Each structure stands twice: as C-alpha cells, then as structure tokens.
C-alpha cells in the first residue's frame, strides 16, 4: 500500500557516517601515546639526567686536576731543589769525614 | 716508547669521538627534517579534515533538503483544490516519520561533529607527541655533547697531570 511507504526514509545514506574503525584506531593510538608518555619518556628523562650528572662529576674531576697539577709542579721544583741541597750536604759531610780522618792521623 | 703509543691511542680516541659527533650531528639534522616533514603531514591531515567536513556538510544539507522536498510532496499528494484530504491518522503517521528522519539527521550531524573533532585533536596530539620526543632528543644530544666536552677536558687535564707526575715520580724513587 502506498500509504504504508515511509517517504522520509532516505535509506542507508541517512545514517551517520560510520566512524567505528576510526574510533578503534584512535583509541589504539591514545593507548600507545599514554604508554609512551608514562613509561618511555620518563626513562629518557632519567637517562638524560644521569648523563648530565656524569658531566658534573667529570667537570669536578677536571677542576680537581686543575688544582692539583700546579701543586705537583711546585712539588717537583721543590723536590729538585731539596735533592740538590741534600747532595750538597752529603758532599760536605764526606769532605768533613775526609778532613776528620786526616786530622786523626 | 710508552708515551708515543699512549699519544697515538689518545689521538685515535679523540678522532673517533670527532667522527661520532659528526654522526650525531647528521642524525639530529635528520630528526629535525622528519619533525618538519611531520608538520607538513599535520597540515595535510587538517586540510583533509576540512575537506571531509565539507563533504559531510553537503551530505547533511542534501539530507535536510530531501526531507523538506518530501514534506512538500506529501502535502501536495494530500491536498486537492486547496483542501487537505489526509486523515488525522495519516497526518500523525507523516509527522512521526518526519520527526524520526530529522532525528536521524541530527544524530548523523552529531556523530560527524565528534568524529571530525576527534580526528583534528588526534592530529594535533600526534604533532605534540612528535615535538615532545624531539625535545627529548635535543636534550639528550646536549647532554651527550656536554659529557663529551667534559671528558675532553678531563683527557687534557690528565695529560697535563701525567707530564707533571713524570717529573715528580723519579724524584720520589730511592
């Protein structure tokens, strides 16, 4: 019967555009994005902080070496002088011993 | 002899560090190009969303126009010489069917608005994630360069210390 026909029924074209697959893909992407934000990025941040911390340690070592090297150089100069003085004193003592032996005769 | 070998090894190590920093530089340059490329992708995806939005808009406009035309047709079919020939039951049926059709149109528009808005947000979030990852890469690279510079200074300092120690150590020997 013509009266039973629904003239406002526009068929499948009237329905909403099917976005089920898109919604599923979107959910998968956000799940993965959240995993990256919660697990991967903090790990990277920690690793970066560790490398920065090591840089500080190495820089402190560099500063320490910078302080120690002049001291060692000074020590080398003084040790050299002391050695020369000791050699001179030793020579003097030996000369005195020779003189003493001569006098004792 | 030992000093010559030591200097040679040190030279190789410093050269290797130089080569590695070259690779790092190229890698960062590539990453930067990829991020720039992703920005272009993001712009294209947004344009696609605009196009899809336009098509969906046309679909809904057509749907609304058809419903209007169908209403006019129904009224014409149920009017004779200016007098409505439809029974109250027929009018009621028509109104129920027409309301359902408009409700369906409203749902379709609502679903599309959500979909296109989600798509645009997804593209924006993807761009934001890429930017966040690239920022980490830059930070990591800076940290590596900083450590390399510090290690370089340490190597130079150790060489200086070794030369100073080379003078002192023989003096300490009996």
ipTM score assigned to the predicted complex: 0.75
Whether A15 and B143 lie within 8 Å, measured CB to CB = no
Residue of B nearest to A83 (CA): B171
Residue of A nearest to B140 (CA): A48
Per DSSP, the three-state class of B79 is: strand
For residue B79, list its beta bridge partners: B84
Whether B171 and A83 lie within 8 Å, measured CB to CB = yes
| Cα A42 to chain centroid, rounded | 16
pLDDT of residue B14 exceeding 80, the answer is no
Q: Which residues from chain B sit within 8 angstroms of residue A67, using beta carbons?
A: none
Query: Is the Cβ of B86 closer than 8 Å to some Cβ of chain A?
Result: no
Per-residue confidence at B10, pLDDT binned at 50, 70, 90?
Answer: low
- Candidate from B122, B149, B160 with C-beta closest to A26: B122
**Per-residue pLDDT tens for B118-168?**
999 999 999 999 999 999 999 999 999 999 999 999 998 888 888 878 877
H-run or E-run covering A9: none
Q: Which residue has tokens 């360069």?
A: B145
Residue B11, token pair as written in the block = 């030279």
**Per-residue pLDDT tens for B68-80?**
999 999 999 999 9
- Measure the CA–CA gap between B68 and B123, rounded to whole angstroms: 37
Name the average pLDDT for chain B. 89
Query: Is the Cβ of B41 closer than 8 Å to some Cβ of chain A?
Result: no
Residue of B nearest to A21 (CA): B115
- Measure the CA–CA gap between A58 and B146, rounded to whole angstroms: 10
pLDDT of residue B7 exceeding 70, the answer is no
Contact (CB, 8 A) for B129 and A36: yes
Say whether pTM exceeds 0.80: no
pLDDT of residue A3 exceeding 50, the answer is yes
| Cα B18 to chain centroid, rounded | 33
Contact (CB, 8 A) for A21 and B117: no
Q: What is the rounded radius of gyration, in angstroms, for the C-alpha atoms of chain B?
A: 38
């Amino acid at each position: 019967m013509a009266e039973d026909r629904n003239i406002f029924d526009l068929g499948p074209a009237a329905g909403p555009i099917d976005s089920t697959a898109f919604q599923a893909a979107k959910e998968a992407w956000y799940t993965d994005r959240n995993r990256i934000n919660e697990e991967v990025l903090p790990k990277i941040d920690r690793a970066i902080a560790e490398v920065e911390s090591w840089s500080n340690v190495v820089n402190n070592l560099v500063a320490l070496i910078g302080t120690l090297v002049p001291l060692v150089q000074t020590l080398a100069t003084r040790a050299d002088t002391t050695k020369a003085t000791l050699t001179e004193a030793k020579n003097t003592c030996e000369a005195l011993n020779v003189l003493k032996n001569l006098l004792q005769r | 002899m030992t000093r010559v070998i030591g200097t040679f090894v040190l030279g190789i190590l410093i050269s290797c560090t130089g080569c590695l920093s070259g690779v790092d530089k190229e890698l960062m340059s590539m990453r930067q190009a990829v991020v720039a490329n992703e920005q272009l992708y993001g712009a294209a995806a947004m344009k696609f969303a605009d196009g899809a939005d336009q098509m969906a808009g046309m679909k809904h406009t057509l749907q609304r126009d058809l419903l209007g035309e169908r209403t006019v047709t129904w009224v014409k079919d149920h009017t004779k010489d200016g007098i409505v020939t439809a029974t109250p039951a027929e009018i009621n049926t028509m109104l129920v069917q027409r309301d359902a059709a408009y409700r369906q149109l409203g749902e379709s528009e609502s679903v599309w608005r959500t979909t296109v808005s989600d798509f645009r947000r997804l593209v924006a979030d993807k761009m934001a994630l890429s930017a966040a990852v690239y920022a980490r890469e830059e930070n990591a690279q800076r940290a590596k360069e900083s450590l390399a510079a510090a290690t370089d200074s340490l190597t130079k300092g150790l060489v200086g210390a070794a030369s100073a120690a080379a003078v002192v150590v023989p003096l300490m020997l009996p």
